[in-house]
Chains A and B, each alone.
Chain A
Amino acid sequence: MMTDAKTRIDQTVKSNDVVLYMKGTKAMPQCGFSSRVAGVLNYMGVDFTDVNVLADAEIRQGIKDYSDWPTIPQLYVKGEFVGGCDIITEMTLSGELDALFDKSGIAYDKDAAAKIREANA
């Protein structure tokens, strides 16, 4: 039987294409790692749902159990856990994140993604 937190998380990640569990909100991140991932998604113009784990202690622990991943932020695309800050950063710079969005039918600004790579080349 799924716990309440797990049920809520499952519903959220399966009913929204792109979900970021983060500390703070996309408009006002409260942790550098959350800020970095939210910043990439914002800059790439991705329409994503943000969940502020600081506002809900049950979700804050629950999301770690859900993904078997000990840190926040956590990015989900089409219900699948993609990674945390280090993985999303690597995938952004390698172009793998673009490929994942292409494959998943997620709209984003390809030029913005290329600009991030140029700036970090």
Chain B
Amino acid sequence: MALLASDLEAMIRETLPNARINVDGDDGVHFSAEVIDESFRGLNRVQQQRVVYAALKGKMDGPSGVIHALALTTKAPD
């Protein structure tokens, strides 16, 4: 089943309830997401993006994953 951008947003929201989340992509497999959350402060980008990948619970994982590509931008609020 193809995913909607709103599904991704909901999954990220479960892990980061207060984040500013912006997900684009309407073909069900290629997405771009910007996630801004206070909990990212002090983490490097790898650590920040691991949190987001973990929230997507295996949806990224290779041939069995649903998401083929996710362009991800993460940061703490300015």
Contacts and interface: CB of A to CB of B under 8 A. Distances in A.
Interface of A: 33, 60-61, 64, 68-71, 81-84, 86-87, 90-91
A25 B49 CA distance: 26
B72 A86 contact: yes
A70 B46 contact: no
Nearest to A61: B62
A81 B71 contact: no
Contact of A69 (B53, B62, B71): B53
Contacts of B71: 86
A51 B69 CA distance: 21
A87 B62 contact: no
- Chain B, interface residues (CB within 8 Å), range: 10 to 19
Nearest to B60: A70
Contacts, number: 32
15 contacts: A33-B69, A60-B62, A61-B62, A64-B61, A64-B62, A69-B53, A70-B53, A70-B61, A70-B62, A70-B65, A83-B49, A84-B49, A86-B72, A87-B49, A90-B73
Residue from A64, A69, A81, A87 having most chain B Cβ neighbours under 10 A: A87
B41 interface: no
A101 B69 CA distance: 28
Given A33-B69, A68-B50, A69-B50, A83 B60 contact: no
